[in-house]
Amino acid sequence: MKIIERISLWVTMSIVVALILIVMTISFSGCSKETIGPSISFNEIFVDVGTHNLKSFSYSNGSNYLVVFESGLGDDHGVWNVKDITGKISNSADVLLYDRAGYGGSGESTGLRGIDRLSTELNLVIDQFANNRKVILVGHSLGGMIIRDFAIKYPSKTAALLFVDTSHELFNNLTQPEEDMIYKNFKDTHGTNFGGTLEAKELIENTQYMQSLPSLPDVPVVVLTSMLVDAQHDAESKQRWYNSHENLKEGVSDFTHITTTKSGHYIQIQEPQLVIENIMLLISKL
């Protein structure tokens, strides 16, 4: 994805997160404007998930570990490459990224795009690359819900989890007019069949679905939470955000919760080293 297109998506997300008060509106003056880009060459293939194809981007050095990245609402795989997170861990692990339906180079799907379906498709992608390895999953925002559902559905395939300012049902409770506004914003900006547009239609249903899930499997878990207070997010709302993330530790014996006031929602762009360090921490535990 071209940088100007990615910035457009970030602007869209700023509108979304202002509505639901989960993150700060992205301020490019508060972080480096330099785009580094990936330092590794990816093998690009399409994975057939039945109704459509998903474009995947993989890098392998024959590692025992596979790190799988899941992006948030409105973002394709490129959000993880802006500051070369994938390249900087590639000496220690194989890497897998992909675009969900309607994003980047992937095909479109007009069916329901709720968490249950998204995690099922994630599993189909992972099966093409895991080679019987358990995977380390890294999920941002809505992607955190997807990897959480994956881990619960497929505990035997899950080695560890890194949640990057993840959405959580105890905080993200939209009204129907709010969901409609988010959906309309994506539709007007990116079209009816854009991945973010279709996923936005399921935000309320996602909350209900996540409320029904059991606890995570007992694998190493790290949660990164933005506690940056600004005009859109006061200290009280940030504390509730933190508290919702604390609930992820239920049933998990190796749980690490890290907060930052240096980054807003896009920790992987504003503090990429924090994400890299904690991927490496999880690898060291395996």
Query: Could you tell me the two tokens for 65?
Result: 């570990």
Walk across the sheet containing 43-48 and list its strands: 43-48, 53-59, 94-98, 66-70, 135-140, 158-164, 221-226, 255-260
**Tokens representing residue 8 in the block:** 């457009």
Which residues, listed in sequence order, are joined to residue 221 by a DSSP beta bridge?
161, 255
Task: Please give the backbone phi and psi of residue 91, each rounded to the nearest 5 degrees, phi first.
Answer: -75, -20
- CB count within 10 Å of CB 253 equals 9
Q: Coil, helix or strand for 134?
A: coil
- Quick check: 226 and 265 in contact, CB under 8 A? yes
Q: Which two tokens stand for residue 86?
A: 């994938």
Q: How far apart are CA 276 and CA 14, in angstroms?
A: 24
User: What is the full DSSP assignment across 18-75?
Assistant: HHHTSSPPP-GGGS-------SSPPEEEEEE-SSSEEEEEEE-S--S-EEEEE--TT-
Answer yes or no: is pLDDT of 270 > 80.
yes
Q: Which of 24, 28, 21, 23 is nearest to 6 (CA)?
A: 28
Distance (Å, whole) CA 92 – CA 65: 8
Number of structural domains found in the chain: 1
Cα–Cα distance for residue pair 86/40, rounded to 1 Å: 8
- Mean pLDDT on 144-168: 98
Q: Tell me the per-residue pLDDT of 65-111, one tens digit each, with 9 for 90 and over.
A: 999 999 999 999 999 999 999 999 999 999 999 999 999 999 999 88
Return mean pLDDT, the chain: 90
Domain coverage including residue 238: 3-284
Q: Which of 25-34, 50-59, 63-72, 174-183 has the lowest mean pLDDT?
A: 25-34
**What CATH number is given to the structural domain containing 114?**
3.40.50.1820
What pTM value is reported for the model? 0.90
Q: Measured in Å, how far apart are the chain's first and last C-alpha atoms?
A: 33
pLDDT of residue 20: 45
> 10 Å Cβ neighbour count for 183?
19
Please tell me the predicted confidence (pLDDT) of residue 15: 42
pLDDT attached to residue 280: 98
Q: Where are the beta strands (DSSP E) in the chain?
A: 43-48, 53-59, 66-70, 94-98, 135-140, 158-164, 221-226, 255-260
